[in-house]
Amino acid sequence: MLNVGAKKQGLSNENKRKVALNKKKKPRKANTEQTRNQKKQQIARKNDRSKKKPRGQKSKRRKQQRRKPKQKFFLKEFSITLLISVLLISLVLWFTVQLPKVEGYSMTPTINDQDRLFVSKKSDIRRFSLVSFKSPKEEDGMIRRVIGLPSEKLYYQQGSLFINGEEIPERFLSTTLSEFSEEPQTADFTLKEVLKVDRVPEDSYFVLGDNRLYATDSRYFGFVKKKNITGVVKARIFPIHAMRQF
């Protein structure tokens, strides 16, 4: 009986040891499970990072898509502003500037046939100014030089200009047109002889072409009223090689 009891006690002690050993082994299993979980988490993080890259690309696309409406709006605003600016400049030029083309040889050699001129509509008219005006007898515009101002008495004697009895030199005239002729460039005349008046009327001008021997001017069509003058010639802009200011 004692042997049987001793055996039972020995078995119980061994069972206790096994249980203790099993208890000690369980934490190891837990540790291995933790490491597995950590590895899984690391793998999941890597996957998340790899997934984030296309998300970043998507965000870039979204930003680009957001920028497109802004760019379209900017281009639209810019085009509208440019159009308004062009219209305003065109209106200003329409009311202040002309670019007429010369036809004929009445102003040769100062201005030639087919020259393109820059005409200011807002400049003051002075003696010897080149003016653009509506022809009294024709619909086309003309370019001539102002010789007589309102209320002035003028005449030509021996090819020289006299205003109110005082000789006024015309330095702009070229001698090339009469160098082979003994005749003066401007034939003698008085206002009384050509237009039946002694003085230039108020608000009117007496104009002549620089090609005096062949020009059609106030000696033939009369005085030019101020209201018919459209501007003062400031420059020749074409042909380019002959550009100059007046």
pLDDT band at 185 (very low <50, low <70, confident <90, very high): confident
Higher pLDDT, 179 or 110: 110
Q: Model confidence at 179, in pLDDT bands (50, 70, 90)?
A: very low
Greatest Cα pair distance, the chain, in angstroms, is: 177
Instruction: Name which of 140, 125, 138, 139 is nearest 207 in CA terms.
Output: 125
63 or 180, greater pLDDT: 63
Per-residue pLDDT reduced to its tens digit, 35-79: 777 777 777 666 655 555 555 555 666 666 666 677 777 788 888
194-199 mean pLDDT: 96
Q: What is the mean pLDDT of the chain?
A: 81
* pLDDT number for residue 202: 96
Structure-block tokens of residue 3:
């042997």
- CA 214, CA 183: separation in Å to the nearest integer? 13
- Rounded to an integer, the average pLDDT of 159-183 is 78
The closest alpha carbon to 152, from 202, 187, 196, belongs to 202
> Model pTM?
0.66
Q: 4: pLDDT confidence band, cut at 50, 70 and 90?
A: very low
Q: How confident is the model at residue 88 (pLDDT cuts 50, 70, 90)?
A: confident
Kindly tell me if the per-residue pLDDT of 232 is higher than 50: yes
pLDDT digits (tens, 9 = 90+) for 91-140: 777 788 999 999 999 999 999 999 999 999 999 999 999 999 988 666 67
Question: How many residues in total does the chain contain?
Answer: 246
Percentage of the chain exceeding pLDDT 70: 69
Question: Tokens representing 146?
Answer: 């102002």
pLDDT for residue 85: 86
Q: What confidence score (pLDDT) does residue 95 get?
A: 80
Sheet holding 166-168, edge to edge: 166-168, 160-163, 154-157, 189-190
What CATH fold (topology level) applies to the domain 99-245? Umud Fragment, subunit A (2.10.109)
